[in-house]
Amino acid sequence: MNPIRLTRDVLTPIGKGLGVTISHLGKMLGTRGRAKFTVEYPEERREQFPRTRWRHYLTRYENGLEKCIGCSLCAGACPARCIYVEAADNTDHARFSPGERYAARYEINMLRCVFCGYCQEACPTGAIVLRKEFELADYDRKDFLYTKQMLLEPIPIRPRQVRASDEAPKAAPRSEAA
Ligand code: SF4
Ligand code: SF4
């Protein structure tokens, strides 16, 4: 082969390719020991992005009433059709939410959920929210059917209740005989 063509068509491209490889290798070695790409999960955890969407929760108002009014808008917005809502009327004797109705049954099939957040967007009362809990693995299919009991937040403890319950019992007066 003509030496000019050999240099232009073979040696120059090989040289360029090697140059790119060496420059990347240099960058990688240069950052070694400084940039950390792995974390020691589960002891260490990466901070999640603010809008991360994982496990669902049904939230309550501060007075303990459920925010969900059983309107099923979340179920209608869900592209995976994995929400089931059965509404019932509140009565003067049994009130669960401030509205006329509440969700007597609320279920999410987490195996079908794609964590799009449309249910959260559609909810008029902010009842259903997706939070950052991502460890949702389980062993049995039936355990992925999240019921209302599993989704509903506990009733908030009011500061007054905390003070009353946290109050330390008074020490018994010392016996003179001791
Ligand atoms: S996050 Fe999306 S897929 Fe999952 S329940 Fe909500 S609407 Fe359905
Ligand atoms: S979670 Fe929101 S959208 Fe879904 S039924 Fe309850 S109130 Fe309606």
Domain ranges of the chain: 1-37, 56-157
Q: Which atom of ligand 2 is nearest to the CA of 73?
A: 3
Determine the distance from the C-alpha atom of residue 157 to the mean position of all C-alpha atoms in its chain, rounded to a whole number: 23
Six-digit token string for 100: 């006329």
Tell whether ligand 2 has an atom less than 6 A from the beta carbon of residue 83.
no
103 lines ligand 1 (CB under 6 A): no
* Cα–Cα distance measured from residue 27 to residue 25, given in angstroms and rounded to the nearest whole number: 5
Q: Determine the CATH number of domain 56-157.
A: 3.30.70.3270
- Against a cut of 0.85, is the pTM above it? no
Q: How far apart are CA 171 and CA 5, in angstroms?
A: 99
| pLDDT tens by residue, the chain, 178 residues | 788 888 889 999 999 999 999 998 888 777 665 666 788 999 999 889 999 999 999 999 999 999 999 999 999 999 999 999 999 999 999 999 998 999 999 999 999 999 999 999 999 999 999 999 999 999 999 999 999 999 999 998 876 655 544 444 444 444 443 3
- Number of CB atoms found within 10 A of residue 151's CB: 19
State if residue 61 touches ligand 1 by the CB under 6 angstroms criterion.
Answer: no
Cβ contact 83:70 at 8 Å: no
